[in-house]
């Protein structure tokens, strides 16, 4: 991605990809919006990101997979359900040749929302 095609918003980001990838991007976006309707959507680090009382998640299209970045705590909390996917400290790779686990994505987002709300509430108490 060069400076000429850096997206200004998530719609522009999704529009940059072929139809089969756009469909997956829209599915992830819809899952996030359903699980966290109050989250703020923006482009951060040149990929879609969502914030609600702090960062919730990022996602991005790659050559052979969809990158999903729900942070380390979510990867650990859903470790057994993510065993079939390539993961690292804060990343899950959803291959393009497998169905996207939309329900799992929603549950991960809801987990991250709860995590951020608890963290925000504890900061208020201090």
pLDDT in tens, 10-46: 999 999 999 999 999 999 999 999 999 999 999 999 9
| Residue in the block written with tokens 């996917």 | 85
Read off the pLDDT of residues 84-113 as tens digits, 9 standing for 90 and up: 999 998 999 999 999 999 999 999 999 999
Tokens representing residue 42 in the block: 């923006």
CATH 1.10.10.10 for the 3-125 domain, yes or no: no
Read off the pLDDT of residues 45-65 as tens digits, 9 standing for 90 and up: 999 999 999 999 999 999 999
Domain boundaries, the chain: 3-125
CA distances from 37 to 30, 62, 86, 93 (A): 10, 26, 28, 24
Phi–psi pair at 32, nearest 5 degrees: -65, -45
Q: Is the pTM of this model over 0.85?
A: yes
């Amino acid at each position: 991605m060069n400076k000429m095609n850096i997206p200004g918003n998530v719609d522009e980001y999704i529009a940059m990809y072929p139809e089969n990838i756009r469909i997956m991007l829209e599915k992830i976006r819809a899952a996030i919006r359903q699980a966290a309707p109050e989250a703020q959507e923006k482009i951060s680090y040149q990929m879609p990101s969502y914030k609600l009382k702090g960062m919730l998640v990022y996602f991005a299209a790659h050559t052979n997979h969809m990158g999903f970045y729900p942070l380390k705590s979510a990867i650990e909390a859903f470790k057994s359900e993510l065993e079939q996917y390539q993961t690292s400290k804060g990343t899950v790779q959803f291959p393009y040749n497998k169905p996207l686990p939309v329900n799992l994505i929603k549950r991960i987002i809801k987990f991250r929302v709860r995590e951020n709300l608890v963290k925000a509430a504890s900061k208020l108490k201090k």
